[in-house]
Structure 1
Amino acid sequence: MARNTKKTRGLGRGLSALMSDVAQDDTTTATSARADLHVPVERVHPNPDQPRRTFAPDALEELSASIAEKGIIQPLIVRPAPHHDGHYEIVAGERRWRAAQMAKLHEVPIILREYDDTEVLEIAIIENIQRADLNPIDEAMGYRQLMDRFGHTQEQMATALGKSRSHIANLLRLLTLPKELHGYLVSGALTAGHARALVGHDLATELAREVIQRKLSVRETEKLAKKGPAIKKRAVPGAPVPKDADTVQLENELAAALGMKVTIDHKPKAEGGKLTIGYRTLEQLDDLMRVLSGQ
Structure 2
Amino acid sequence: MKKGRDILQGLVAAGKPLPPSGGSTPQARPSGAVKAMSLGLDRLSAEAAQAKALREELANRETTQELDTGLFSPSPISDRIPLTDDPRTEELRAAIELNGQQIPIIARPHPDKEGHFQIAAGHRRWRVAQDLGRPLKAIIRKLTDEEMVILQGQENGPREDLTFAERARFALQMEARGFNRDTLSAALNVDKPELSRLLTVAQALSEEFILAIGPAPKVGRPRWLQLAKGLAGQGAHDRLAVLIRSPEFAQADTDRRFGLALEVVGTANSVSKKRLAAPKRIAWIEKKGSSTRLVSNDKDFAEFIQRRLPELLKEFQGSLEADADDEKRGTSH
Where on the TM-score scale, by shorter chain, does this alignment land: which range? 0.3 to 0.5
State the TM-score, normalized to the length of structure 1.
Answer: 0.45
Higher relative contact order (CA 8 A, sep 6+): 1
Kindly indicate which of the two structures has a greater share of residues assigned to helix.
2
Q: TM-score, normalised by structure 2?
A: 0.41
Which protein is bigger by CA-based radius of gyration?
Answer: 2
